[in-house]
Amino acid sequence: MTRACLLMLVALTTTMAAATTVVPMSVEELTRASARVVEAQVLDSWSTWNAEHTRIFTYSRVRVARALKGRSEEVVTVKQLGGSAGGYTMKVAGVRALSPGERTLLFLRPSQAGDGTWVIVGLMQGMFHVYAAGGHTMVSNGIHAAVVHEQRAGAPRQEAVRPMTLEEAESRVRGASTQ
Protein backbone atom coordinates (compact mmCIF):
# COMPACT_ATOMS: atom_id res chain seq x y z
CA MET A 1 0.00 0.00 0.00
CA THR A 2 1.49 3.27 -1.02
CA ARG A 3 1.69 6.22 1.31
CA ALA A 4 -0.65 8.14 -0.89
CA CYS A 5 -3.17 5.33 -0.93
CA LEU A 6 -3.12 5.21 2.84
CA LEU A 7 -3.92 8.90 2.88
CA MET A 8 -6.74 8.27 0.47
CA LEU A 9 -8.19 5.50 2.58
CA VAL A 10 -8.13 7.72 5.64
CA ALA A 11 -9.99 10.32 3.65
CA LEU A 12 -12.49 7.80 2.45
CA THR A 13 -13.37 6.58 5.89
CA THR A 14 -14.33 10.05 7.00
CA THR A 15 -17.19 10.52 4.58
CA MET A 16 -19.23 7.51 3.77
CA ALA A 17 -21.94 7.19 1.25
CA ALA A 18 -22.20 5.61 -2.11
CA ALA A 19 -19.89 6.30 -4.98
CA THR A 20 -20.96 9.16 -7.16
CA THR A 21 -21.69 7.50 -10.45
CA VAL A 22 -22.03 3.86 -9.57
CA VAL A 23 -22.86 1.81 -6.53
CA PRO A 24 -20.65 -1.26 -6.42
CA MET A 25 -22.18 -4.54 -7.46
CA SER A 26 -20.84 -7.83 -6.18
CA VAL A 27 -20.00 -10.66 -8.53
CA GLU A 28 -23.20 -12.32 -7.37
CA GLU A 29 -25.28 -9.24 -8.14
CA LEU A 30 -23.65 -8.86 -11.51
CA THR A 31 -24.34 -12.51 -12.25
CA ARG A 32 -28.00 -12.28 -11.33
CA ALA A 33 -28.41 -9.19 -13.52
CA SER A 34 -26.75 -10.92 -16.47
CA ALA A 35 -28.15 -13.25 -19.08
CA ARG A 36 -24.66 -14.30 -20.02
CA VAL A 37 -21.27 -14.31 -18.37
CA VAL A 38 -18.45 -15.10 -20.75
CA GLU A 39 -14.70 -15.20 -20.78
CA ALA A 40 -13.74 -13.77 -24.12
CA GLN A 41 -11.18 -12.02 -26.25
CA VAL A 42 -11.94 -8.90 -28.24
CA LEU A 43 -11.63 -9.42 -31.99
CA ASP A 44 -12.34 -5.96 -33.34
CA SER A 45 -14.26 -2.76 -32.69
CA TRP A 46 -15.93 -0.04 -34.72
CA SER A 47 -18.01 3.04 -33.95
CA THR A 48 -20.96 4.52 -35.78
CA TRP A 49 -23.85 6.94 -35.30
CA ASN A 50 -27.27 5.51 -34.61
CA ALA A 51 -30.05 5.85 -37.15
CA GLU A 52 -31.36 9.01 -35.48
CA HIS A 53 -27.85 10.52 -35.57
CA THR A 54 -28.12 11.34 -31.90
CA ARG A 55 -25.70 8.84 -30.40
CA ILE A 56 -22.41 7.18 -31.32
CA PHE A 57 -22.10 3.55 -30.32
CA THR A 58 -19.02 1.36 -30.36
CA TYR A 59 -19.50 -2.26 -31.30
CA SER A 60 -16.97 -4.93 -30.39
CA ARG A 61 -16.99 -8.50 -31.57
CA VAL A 62 -15.66 -10.82 -28.90
CA ARG A 63 -14.72 -14.44 -29.34
CA VAL A 64 -16.11 -16.46 -26.47
CA ALA A 65 -13.60 -18.82 -24.90
CA ARG A 66 -16.20 -20.22 -22.54
CA ALA A 67 -19.55 -19.30 -21.08
CA LEU A 68 -19.91 -19.28 -17.30
CA LYS A 69 -23.58 -18.45 -17.50
CA GLY A 70 -26.01 -18.61 -20.37
CA ARG A 71 -25.84 -20.00 -23.83
CA SER A 72 -22.46 -20.45 -25.42
CA GLU A 73 -21.94 -18.74 -28.74
CA GLU A 74 -18.71 -18.40 -30.64
CA VAL A 75 -18.86 -14.68 -31.32
CA VAL A 76 -20.91 -12.06 -29.50
CA THR A 77 -21.28 -8.38 -30.41
CA VAL A 78 -21.05 -6.01 -27.47
CA LYS A 79 -22.45 -2.48 -27.77
CA GLN A 80 -21.12 0.45 -25.74
CA LEU A 81 -22.28 4.04 -25.76
CA GLY A 82 -19.62 6.44 -27.04
CA GLY A 83 -16.88 6.41 -29.63
CA SER A 84 -15.60 8.39 -32.59
CA ALA A 85 -17.41 8.65 -35.90
CA GLY A 86 -17.97 11.19 -38.63
CA GLY A 87 -15.81 13.92 -37.17
CA TYR A 88 -17.06 13.73 -33.60
CA THR A 89 -16.16 11.89 -30.42
CA MET A 90 -18.80 11.00 -27.88
CA LYS A 91 -17.67 10.17 -24.37
CA VAL A 92 -19.38 8.72 -21.36
CA ALA A 93 -17.43 8.99 -18.13
CA GLY A 94 -16.85 5.58 -16.69
CA VAL A 95 -17.38 3.71 -19.92
CA ARG A 96 -14.20 1.90 -20.83
CA ALA A 97 -13.91 0.84 -24.43
CA LEU A 98 -12.97 -2.73 -25.18
CA SER A 99 -9.63 -2.97 -26.94
CA PRO A 100 -8.94 -5.48 -29.72
CA GLY A 101 -6.91 -8.37 -28.35
CA GLU A 102 -8.00 -7.70 -24.79
CA ARG A 103 -8.93 -10.69 -22.62
CA THR A 104 -12.00 -9.99 -20.61
CA LEU A 105 -14.69 -11.47 -18.42
CA LEU A 106 -18.00 -9.94 -19.41
CA PHE A 107 -21.36 -9.81 -17.65
CA LEU A 108 -23.90 -9.22 -20.39
CA ARG A 109 -27.56 -8.65 -21.03
CA PRO A 110 -29.34 -8.14 -24.36
CA SER A 111 -29.56 -4.52 -25.44
CA GLN A 112 -33.06 -3.22 -24.93
CA ALA A 113 -32.80 -1.84 -28.47
CA GLY A 114 -33.52 -5.39 -29.57
CA ASP A 115 -30.82 -5.24 -32.22
CA GLY A 116 -29.16 -8.52 -31.31
CA THR A 117 -26.27 -6.85 -29.53
CA TRP A 118 -25.30 -7.24 -25.89
CA VAL A 119 -24.52 -4.58 -23.33
CA ILE A 120 -22.31 -4.70 -20.26
CA VAL A 121 -24.16 -4.84 -16.96
CA GLY A 122 -23.56 -1.95 -14.57
CA LEU A 123 -22.10 0.43 -17.17
CA MET A 124 -18.50 -0.72 -16.73
CA GLN A 125 -18.78 -2.87 -13.62
CA GLY A 126 -19.53 -5.98 -15.62
CA MET A 127 -16.32 -5.68 -17.60
CA PHE A 128 -13.37 -7.40 -15.95
CA HIS A 129 -9.87 -7.18 -17.29
CA VAL A 130 -8.11 -10.56 -17.30
CA TYR A 131 -4.41 -10.41 -16.55
CA ALA A 132 -1.53 -12.45 -15.17
CA ALA A 133 -0.03 -11.61 -11.79
CA GLY A 134 2.02 -13.61 -9.34
CA GLY A 135 1.58 -16.80 -11.30
CA HIS A 136 -2.20 -16.49 -11.27
CA THR A 137 -4.78 -15.38 -13.78
CA MET A 138 -6.49 -12.43 -12.15
CA VAL A 139 -9.61 -10.45 -12.96
CA SER A 140 -10.57 -6.93 -11.92
CA ASN A 141 -13.11 -4.33 -12.94
CA GLY A 142 -11.22 -1.57 -11.15
CA ILE A 143 -13.81 -0.77 -8.48
CA HIS A 144 -11.31 -0.65 -5.63
CA ALA A 145 -12.79 2.29 -3.76
CA ALA A 146 -16.05 0.46 -3.47
CA VAL A 147 -14.39 -2.18 -1.35
CA VAL A 148 -13.31 0.41 1.18
CA HIS A 149 -16.82 1.78 1.37
CA GLU A 150 -18.31 -1.63 1.91
CA GLN A 151 -15.87 -2.56 4.63
CA ARG A 152 -16.26 0.69 6.51
CA ALA A 153 -20.01 0.83 6.26
CA GLY A 154 -20.36 -2.73 7.42
CA ALA A 155 -23.25 -3.09 5.06
CA PRO A 156 -24.93 -6.49 4.99
CA ARG A 157 -24.21 -6.80 1.32
CA GLN A 158 -21.94 -9.41 -0.11
CA GLU A 159 -18.36 -8.47 -0.63
CA ALA A 160 -17.86 -5.95 -3.36
CA VAL A 161 -15.73 -6.63 -6.35
CA ARG A 162 -11.97 -6.66 -5.94
CA PRO A 163 -9.14 -8.19 -7.89
CA MET A 164 -9.51 -11.95 -7.62
CA THR A 165 -8.39 -15.04 -9.42
CA LEU A 166 -10.31 -16.14 -12.45
CA GLU A 167 -11.06 -19.38 -10.63
CA GLU A 168 -12.68 -17.53 -7.74
CA ALA A 169 -14.72 -15.40 -10.10
CA GLU A 170 -15.88 -18.49 -11.96
CA SER A 171 -16.85 -20.21 -8.73
CA ARG A 172 -18.87 -17.21 -7.58
CA VAL A 173 -20.57 -16.84 -10.94
CA ARG A 174 -21.55 -20.48 -11.04
CA GLY A 175 -22.72 -20.32 -7.44
CA ALA A 176 -24.90 -17.29 -8.09
CA SER A 177 -26.25 -18.85 -11.28
CA THR A 178 -27.74 -21.76 -9.36
CA GLN A 179 -29.38 -19.66 -6.64
Partner 1 sequence: MNMRTVKMLLAIAGLLGAVLAPLPTYSYLLNLTVPMGGGAPQPDRWDFSSFPVVWNINPSHGSNIQGSRSVVDVIQASFNTWISAPNATLRVSRGADSSISSENASPSNVNLICFVCSDADFTKDAQTLAVTITTAADARGEPDGHGGTTRFAGQLIKADIIFNPQTQYTTDGGGSLQDLQTVATHEIGHFFGLAHSAVVRAVMSPAASNLRTLAYDDVAGLSVLYPAASPQVPTGAISGTVRLASAGVFGAHVYAQSVTMALPFASTIRKTPIGILTRPDGSYTIQGLPADSYVVIAEPLDGPVENDDVKGYSQAFGRTAVQANFTTRWH
Residue 69 CB, nearest approach to partner 1 (Å): 16
- CA separation for the pair 65, 164 (Å, rounded): 19
Residue 22 CB, nearest approach to partner 1 (Å): 5
Pairing of strands 103-110, 164-165: unpaired
Minimum CB distance to partner 1 smaller for 84 or for 177: 84
Q: What do you get for the CA distance between the two ends of the chain, in Å?
A: 36
Minimum CB distance to partner 1 smaller for 51 or for 178: 51
User: Binding residues for partner 1, per CB under 8 A?
Assistant: 1-5, 8-9, 11-12, 15-25, 29, 33, 50, 52, 54-56, 79, 81-82, 84, 87-97, 99, 102, 109, 111-113, 119, 121-125, 129, 133, 140-142, 144-146, 148-149
Minimum CB distance to partner 1 smaller for 12 or for 67: 12
Residue 174's CB is within 10 A of a number of other CB atoms, namely 13
Contact 26, 159 (CB under 8 A): yes
What is the identity of the amino acid at 40?
A
